[in-house]
Structure 1
Amino acid sequence: MVSKPKDYKRFIIQANSCLTHNAYNDLNKIKCPTLIIGGKKDSIVGVNSAKEIADRISNSELYVYEDYGHAVHEEAKDFNEKVLKYLKR
């Protein structure tokens, strides 16, 4: 189920960014430890995008939520805890 955007101005800004910004070829330049979080039910960019990003960043860790989609940062109750735990390592 796709819900309405919370803020249409924010949605337009993000949509324009998606159309014009591409950092794919620069991902391999990231050298610091990186946590990549995706949702298996992401119907916007798909979980394969998270896997591709993880493959391009050499020092990365991928975590995929099985039951969430593109807004996993808002949906998963333990999202912030997971990020903080990663940052404290």
Structure 2
Amino acid sequence: MIQQVFGYSFLAIIGFCGLVVTQVAFWKMNERFIWRGIIPYEIRKKLLPNDQFQMDAWLALSEWTVLLLWAAFMVFPIICLDSVGFIRILH
């Protein structure tokens, strides 16, 4: 039981750090954050009413692609933690 708590906590930390690294890398490349393409336009306007940024379908698609790549890189830690018994996702 304590191993699974450690395993899921470790997986959450890895996931959060990976998401931060992904945000920083995307910011360095495009000078915008990933969340703009994911959050619906109405919610984005409520959060940032003075935001002048316009997004087309290709920009939103690039942000979704970055998140899918992050999820693909998260598969390896999940498999490793599951194989050593720290988490039970793949059983």
What TM-score bracket applies, with the shorter chain setting the length?
under 0.3
Greater percentage in helix: 2
Larger radius of gyration: 2
TM-score (norm 1): 0.24
Give the TM-score normalised by structure 2: 0.23
